[in-house]
Structure 1
Amino acid sequence: MGGRGPKRELAEKIAGEITLSGDPGATLRKWRTDFDVSQTDLAGELEVSSSVISDYESGRRESPGIGVIKRLVDGLLAIDEQRGGDRIRQYGRVLSAGFESDVVYDLREYATTYHLPDVYESIEATEIAPGSTDRISGHTVINSIEAITRLSSEEFFRLYGQSTNRLLVFTGVTRGESPLVALRVVNPTPNAVVLHGLEADDLWEHAADLARIDGYSLAVSTVPLEEMLETLATIE
């Protein structure tokens, strides 16, 4: 990380994405909503009117220069720090693990182990197949398409962080075939897998069988992604 720390790393990443984007306003809006910051809150932090933020995001104002982008990014990070710094820490963990934040949404180790059914209940997950153990000590939440198409098997294994004793959440899933087949080539497997974005009825017919063969718990959840990330962030 070059000693700059996650805040500076993240600031440079956001500013770079906005600057290089073909639609800077849309990219700014993506990051603002990702930080769960309203246009009003960001405007208040920067001491401008909400219409200024709205005009940048809609493209009614010409693309912001680097000075304006820096102020916007610093404003987002300042608001996050005022709220406790959860987003900065989250991205810091992902960046320090060597991943891009559009591949890995969160990667966390817990101070103690947690009972998996309790975690499932908190994220409204329905277990499809039980695993060989019902304790976890961390979680990783990934964009399933980006991870499967961009990560090597070695990088895929690094999703486990410090331990495979964790919950691996695949988001953006339609049937579950691709992520579960991908897990077959990575050993060992995590303790638990959640396929996010589909109902049990839409699950690939062989999903439960693969989970039983490899011994991990398999569950599905349709809770909104931001809500899931916020719930998982409360686990210490």
Structure 2
Amino acid sequence: MEKIKMEIAGEISLSDDPGATMRKWREIFNISQVELAKHLGITVSTISDYEGNRRKSPGTGVVKRFVNALFDIDQVKGGEISQKFREREKPVSEYFEVHEFARSITLKDFVGLIEGKALTNADLLDTKKIYGYTLIDSIKVILDMPFSYFQNLYGNVNERVFIFTGVSTGRSPFVVVRVSSSKPSAVVLHNIDPAKVDRLALKISERERIPMIATSMSIDKIKEALNRI
């Protein structure tokens, strides 16, 4: 959390309009001038003067007290905003792993290596080239991952396979793919019963021309096989 505090303090200190930046962050934390003034032991008019640039630019000491106050007040109110920042600080490895290949392989070879079965768009297996894969914890990505992380799923190139773990019907992964501006070359649903795949997921896969692949090979064996490439 200290890193986030330093970023906010730096933004205020370097801003051409520090008062407006202070007001922006106070509003982001949903804290009133009255609440902030009471916590800092100063008058509301002092807060108003800083935000209106009617006082000289705040020094580092004032900015530090201001930023700490935002987080302190937020904690008293339940810590909702602070929690969002904590989520942002989590490493991407908590949600997904990006792996790049030293050379390209066909999607057909990829499917063979993971002992998979194409459930849709099997005609594309011979022509699609793959340059890597991303192993994705579907539950964490869909429920918890900050939106700003999504583009990182693609690593260096889009010509890659998304391997989703923790899936039950496959609907959520394909809804995510459907609304994304970038698309993977194929989607693997790990340890799923092909008979239970959601119809909407199948339709999205076919419409987007993104092969859906099922495999029950263990994740450790999948990584062992693919990381040799």
TM superposition score normalised by structure 1: 0.54
- 122, 125, 128: which one pairs with 1:134? 128
Tell me which residue corresponds to 2:178: 184
Indicate the SS of the match to 2:94. Answer: coil
Tell me which residue corresponds to 2:206: 212
- Taking the aligned partners of 2:209 and 2:146, their CA distance within structure 1 comes to 23
The answer to whether the 8 Å contact 1:195/1:221 transfers is yes
Between Structure 1 and Structure 2, how many residues are aligned? 137
Superposition pairs of residues 84-233 of structure 1, within 5 angstroms: 99-104=91-96, 106-130=97-121, 133-233=127-227
- Taking the aligned partners of 2:206 and 2:93, their CA distance within structure 1 comes to 31
Give the drift of 1:193.
Answer: 0.6
The answer to whether the 8 Å contact 2:158/2:185 transfers is yes
Which 4+ stretches in 1 moved above 4 angstroms?
A: none
Indicate the SS of the match to 2:92. Answer: coil
1:1-47 alpha-carbon deviations (Å, 9 max, x no partner) = xxxxxxxxxxxxxxxxxxxxxxxxxxxxxxxxxxxxxxxxxxxxxxx
Give the drift of 1:217.
Answer: 1.4
Give the drift of 1:153.
Answer: 3.8
Q: Where does the alignment leave 5 or more consecutive residues of structure 2 unmatched? A: 1-89
TM superposition score normalised by structure 2: 0.56
1:29-79 alpha-carbon deviations (Å, 9 max, x no partner) = xxxxxxxxxxxxxxxxxxxxxxxxxxxxxxxxxxxxxxxxxxxxxxxxxxx
Percent of pairs with identical residues: 29
Indicate the SS of the match to 1:159. Answer: helix
Indicate the SS of the match to 1:163. Answer: coil
AA matched with 1:127? A
The answer to whether the 8 Å contact 1:153/1:185 transfers is no
Tell me which residue corresponds to 2:46: none
- Whose radius of gyration is greater, 1 or 2? 2
The answer to whether the 8 Å contact 2:101/2:227 transfers is no
Give the drift of 1:102.
Answer: 3.0
- Taking the aligned partners of 1:225 and 1:171, their CA distance within structure 2 comes to 9
- Taking the aligned partners of 2:91 and 2:189, their CA distance within structure 1 comes to 20
- Taking the aligned partners of 1:233 and 1:140, their CA distance within structure 2 comes to 12
Indicate the SS of the match to 1:227. Answer: helix
